[in-house]
Structure 1
Amino acid sequence: MSVHDQSQTDWDVIVVGSGAGAMTSAAIAADRGLSVLVVEKSDKFGGTSAISGGGIWIPNNHYFAAKGGKDSYDKALQYIMTAGGGRADETKVRAYLDHAPAMIKYLEDKSRVRYAVAEKYPDYYQHVPGSLPGGRSLDPELFDTSVLGDELENLRRPSPSTLLMGKISWTARDAHIAMARESGWRFKILWMMLRYKLDFKWRRKSKFDRRAGLGNSLVCALRASLLDRKVPLWLNTDFRDLVLDNGRVTGIKVVSKGRELTLNARRGVIIGAGGFEQNQTLREKYLPQPTKTSWSATPPGNNTGAALEAGMAAGAATDLLEWAWWSPTIPVVGEEKPRGIFAERAFPGSIVVNGLGKRFCNEAQGYLEFGDAMYKDREATGGKNVPAWCIFDAHFRFNYAMGPLMPGQIMPDSRLRKEWRNSVYWKADTLEELARQIDVDPAGLATTVKTVNEYARTGEDKDFGRGGNVFDRYYGDVNVKPNPCLAPIQKGPFYAMRMDAGDIGTKGGLLTDAHARVVRPDGSPIEGLYAIGNTSASVMGIAYPGAGATIGPAMTFGYIAAHHIADNT
């Protein structure tokens, strides 16, 4: 259980946070014979990992090799270093490539974590040397949550957007088949719906699916693994500061159950407490403007940067603070946080324009690059890229999802919540009327739509190359020719949805070395202090190499940190 006797204050290792990286490090440390405590600020375990896709990007993984896939260390190194824009540290990149395959193999053999290779999921930068058209991203298998017992009540539940029909769990591989409308997609969806409906015994106990998928699958498997190891996890335990003795971190200060506690860590503290995206002051200090916590797709009230500030106060260096794991988000009335827009931008028949009515990037590109594009050319556009507007017609509305709007054939406008009109979506009989509703230049939008409609006919996006590579086409509709990511916008009524410059976490943080130790500006380690995940500056530099390039490094450097503590302290 998560509630434990808090009379014990001395541990070998204390882990701050309960996301995938944090729980991985706790499991490894326990396996190495160390006493471990995990503390979590919120009343739910799983962190941002729980509401993510749960994928991990692992070059040279054994799953891909077992299927005859070809990858190489040198190709992966070249790819990361080139994509990283000069901001990736080769020593740390090599540490990642050395240990990531061993980390996931260890968890497969020694824990409840189970993955499968997403063979068709391409690396995000297909133009960069060393990229692969698939095989490096791993997708969690479904996990039977009944094994968690009462602990299931403490799980951070996924966003409705990651569930089929808002309630049925699926894998990313299944979601791809359905979204890309590959052969048999309707039967697959029907089978998943029947599996859920016929699980009468479980549905009498819970409205949630017995099976967890994506990020929920991963954190449930890791939590079950910690329960197997009898590793305590204290919820509602807010990290406040580090305890130092002659420059060495010897523990942490927390507030738990209304009490201020000092917890001692004999061997080390591993911080996997997320970034600072929910701290408006820090956002305004470090991130591009404008910026709002309400645009972030991460859980409100968490990831407020306390670990970053404590590390800096202890003398830590930082890097990449001006970057986030950008993703456009759509605000949804009645939901605690906006929804990240990932796959939908590749569907044919929609475009994204700025306030001038003009496209400003390839809509189907990676979400980090899309978000970055919203902040570029601010002088030329007068800041008109923030917010941006997704525009589509009745044909798109009937066939495809966009954020909270399921396809009209499943969820017609008559079934949408009334308060969503003119807040989540706007609707008009003509493009000109729609443009006026959302304060977008009507002439600019008309010209853009006319141009894109011609691109849809020829199959070539001459402005931004949408649909011109295997990554773009991954979520395109395979039935649409000649380009699965392009279709005309011509059938009224027309729709618009606002996209903000959101994120799924900040990218910058405490600077660490190849052992995950937090370092000072001169490169010397702060003894006893380790940082992983979004608390640390990303090993990937300014890039997002592929699906799972956030959680994969968090888990890998958690694995590295736990072993380093066991071997060297």
Structure 2
Amino acid sequence: MVFDKQVDVLVVGSGAGALVAALRAARAGADVLVVEKGAMWGGTSATSGGGIWIPGSHLAEQAGHPDDLGEAFRYVRALTADNVADDQIHAFVDNAHRMLAWVEQEADVQYAALPYPDYYPEVAGSREGYRTHLIPTAFDARKMDQAAFDTMQRASPAASLWGRINWVLAETHIALFRPKGWWKTIGKALAGYWLDFPQRLRSPRDRRLTLGTALLGRLRSAVDRTGTPVWLNSPFVSLIETDGRVEGAVVQHEGRELRIGARKGVILAAGGFERNAALRAEHLAAAHDPVASGSQVNNRGDALLATLTLGAATRNMDSAWWAPMFRIPGEDRARLSTVERALPYSLIVDQSAKRYANEALSYHRFGEVMKAPHAPGAETNPSWLIFDSRYRNSYPAGPVIPGIPDALLPASVRKVLVKGSTVADLAKGTGLDTVTLEATITRFNGMVAKGKDEDFGRGDSAYDRLYGDPRVSPNPSLGAVAKAPFYAIPLHLGDIGTNGGLVTDGRGRVLREDGGTIQGLYAVGNLAASVMGYSYPGAGATLGPAMTFGFLAATDACRINEPV
């Protein structure tokens, strides 16, 4: 067969899973090409918090909290769907820590194991920390190729101040709760941004990369050092199959459709289908609007649809990383709600003005409750985040930033923010029943006085307390909604990406509907059906498997045998 270009490994997509796969293959001596559909690289990974859920890491052991891989397997097995094979779970659990150690060595990615609790503390095998790993420090973009920095996918507006100034996790905590001397830390971050005069003259973007952008910056720099090209504005079109084996793909590049041969394999890491309106309507009817997603806009399932023409099997297409989202008029994606729901002086009600869940649940678990069937008149999409003036003056509520007067908030934010001098006024502005809302708040405030949420257990678990205000006692997640004026902002059911898709094995190989393997073809990340099934075991359970199976796919494609 005649190709316009031939490489050893073709990687489709440019998020964390894609770049780990590309780096793994390139370090093994393979000739690698990365192609990206959009004008910016980094995918949804760049808009994330950059956390990875890794059982049994050397970092956890060094921190004095060694993990047991058998317990980790039992935890995931108890949570994931029955149609996920044991072998695939073992492939992740047994190799995730190997991937992390390798990435640390090859890309200088500096993670730390943190006392961040698993999301299902009631399930056997869970831990109260040290499986979630975050990057605690910033990465200076001046160490990157300038063109690579300029074309990196922007961080989520929820992960930065004013959509410009990037924060590390410790700074977020300090900004939220303002312990003694807090202004020094925040002032240093602000000064670093404004005193970067060369960059301020070029762009409002912060060259101090944090969270997901810190991870992607380091991975891309490592990939660039191997000489691996990354083609932007180069959408994947179709796969090239001969006698049951994928030999390459058609890619549109610089106005031409090129036939790219891949001698060792094609690794698809092109994201989910959350931005495809037709696929959402078919599979995600509970939240069918693509703008309900916080994902970047190019994830439309192109690679998924192309692979289905080869007889590929799919699994759990009705699944997503569900979440409550803020939707701001004019923005092309929704904003994830994380810490807001666990903070005191607030509660969430459905359209009947009643509470229906522990507000401090992890965003996926809360999203699952929102998605569940509800009685007519008690629908949860949208719900209302209700808070008082103490909350307003102390904590962010999505785009509603403390310290900024209501009148100076952006007009788009003022369109969705409701304010009332009394609870009755707030009920009128939201369309909620006044009597019911007043009764809900009265009952909630009575439980706050006892320090115990008798209805839903908010603040009982270590995870709930993680995002509570440590200055509030006895329960850092509970505070009375009592001080006027009162506020409400809608929370919509959405997601941060789909997680149902192509069925793969423990090496990332795509399987056919008959159970056979499509030779030469791999899928990782949100394009592949998640090893976690419908669950979200802990923070980083999206990126952790994506990077691990990217590592394993390249290992298999390049027949890498050396120990890590």
Q: TM-score range by the shorter chain?
A: over 0.9
| 1:273–1:307 CA contact under 8 A, matched in 2 | yes
1:87–1:431 CA distance, 2 compared to 1 (3 A): farther
Partner residue, 1:137: 132
Q: Does structure 1 residue 395 correspond to structure 2 residue 390?
A: yes
Written as runs of structure 1 = structure 2, the 5 A alignment for 1:73-152 is 73-117=69-113, 119-140=114-135, 141-148=137-144, 149-152=146-149
Which residue of 158, 162, 168 corresponds with 1:161? 158
Cα shift at 1:66? 1.1
TM-score, with structure 1 as normaliser: 0.94
Looking at structure 1, the residues matched to 459 and 390 of structure 2 have their Cα atoms a distance apart, in angstroms, of 19
Instruction: Give secondary structure in 1 for the equivalent of 2:419.
Output: strand
Partner residue, 2:525: 533
Cα shift at 1:349? 1.2
Question: What's the CA shift string for 1:370-402, capped at 9, x where partnerless?
Answer: 111112133x24561111111111111011101
Instruction: Give secondary structure in 2 for the equivalent of 1:552.
Output: helix
Cα shift at 1:18? 0.3
1:550–1:287 CA distance, 2 compared to 1 (3 A): same
**Structure 1 stretch 156-165 or stretch 25-34: which is displaced more?**
156-165
Partner residue, 1:509: 501
Looking at structure 2, the residues matched to 439 and 349 of structure 1 have their Cα atoms a distance apart, in angstroms, of 21
Looking at structure 2, the residues matched to 125 and 177 of structure 1 have their Cα atoms a distance apart, in angstroms, of 27
| 2:469–2:477 CA contact under 8 A, matched in 1 | yes
Structure 1 gap segments, 5+ residues each: 1-6
Partner residue, 2:323: 327
TM-score, with structure 2 as normaliser: 0.95
**Structure 1 stretch 129-138 or stretch 179-188: which is displaced more?**
179-188
Looking at structure 2, the residues matched to 181 and 365 of structure 1 have their Cα atoms a distance apart, in angstroms, of 24
* Pairs aligned (count): 557
Instruction: Give secondary structure in 2 for the equivalent of 1:237.
Output: coil
| 1:349–1:486 CA contact under 8 A, matched in 2 | yes
Q: Does structure 1 residue 54 correspond to structure 2 residue 46?
A: no
Q: Does structure 1 residue 174 correspond to structure 2 residue 167?
A: no
Instruction: Give secondary structure in 1 for the equivalent of 2:7.
Output: strand
Letter in 2 for 1:548: G
Cα shift at 1:112? 3.4
Looking at structure 2, the residues matched to 102 and 180 of structure 1 have their Cα atoms a distance apart, in angstroms, of 36
Looking at structure 1, the residues matched to 475 and 285 of structure 2 have their Cα atoms a distance apart, in angstroms, of 34
Cα shift at 1:79? 1.2
Cα shift at 1:63? 1.4
Cα shift at 1:520? 1.4
Looking at structure 1, the residues matched to 459 and 28 of structure 2 have their Cα atoms a distance apart, in angstroms, of 48
Structure 2 gap segments, 5+ residues each: none
Written as runs of structure 1 = structure 2, the 5 A alignment for 1:75-474 is 75-117=71-113, 119-140=114-135, 141-148=137-144, 149-179=146-176, 181=178, 185-300=182-297, 302-378=298-374, 380-382=375-377, 384-407=379-402, 410-421=403-414, 423-474=415-466
Cα shift at 1:151? 2.1
Aligned identity (percent) is 43
Which residue of 544, 547, 550 corresponds with 2:536? 544
Partner residue, 1:45: 41
Cα shift at 1:439? 2.0
Letter in 2 for 1:455: M
Looking at structure 1, the residues matched to 369 and 44 of structure 2 have their Cα atoms a distance apart, in angstroms, of 24
Question: What's the CA shift string for 1:272-302, capped at 9, x where partnerless?
Answer: 00000000110111114242101111122x1
| 2:4–2:259 CA contact under 8 A, matched in 1 | no
Cα shift at 1:174? 3.2
Q: Does structure 1 residue 36 correspond to structure 2 residue 39?
A: no
Letter in 2 for 1:126: P
Instruction: Give secondary structure in 2 for the equivalent of 1:567.
Output: coil
Instruction: Give secondary structure in 2 for the equivalent of 1:473.
Output: helix
Instruction: Give secondary structure in 2 for the equivalent of 1:155.
Output: coil
Looking at structure 1, the residues matched to 467 and 287 of structure 2 have their Cα atoms a distance apart, in angstroms, of 30
Q: Does structure 1 residue 558 correspond to structure 2 residue 550?
A: yes
Question: What's the CA shift string for 1:196-229, capped at 9, x where partnerless?
Answer: 3444454444422221000111111111111100
| 1:88–1:542 CA contact under 8 A, matched in 2 | no
| 1:288–1:375 CA contact under 8 A, matched in 2 | no
Letter in 2 for 1:192: A
Partner residue, 1:3: none
Letter in 2 for 1:271: L
Cα shift at 1:182? 5.5
Instruction: Give secondary structure in 2 for the equivalent of 1:454.
Output: helix
Looking at structure 2, the residues matched to 92 and 366 of structure 1 have their Cα atoms a distance apart, in angstroms, of 25
Looking at structure 1, the residues matched to 361 and 286 of structure 2 have their Cα atoms a distance apart, in angstroms, of 22
Instruction: Give secondary structure in 2 for the equivalent of 1:289.
Output: helix
Instruction: Give secondary structure in 1 for the equivalent of 2:240.
Output: strand
| Cα root mean square deviation, aligned | 1.8
Question: What's the CA shift string for 1:22-42, capped at 9, x where partnerless?
Answer: 011000001111111101000
Letter in 1 for 2:499: K
Instruction: Give secondary structure in 1 for the equivalent of 2:515.
Output: coil
Letter in 1 for 2:214: S
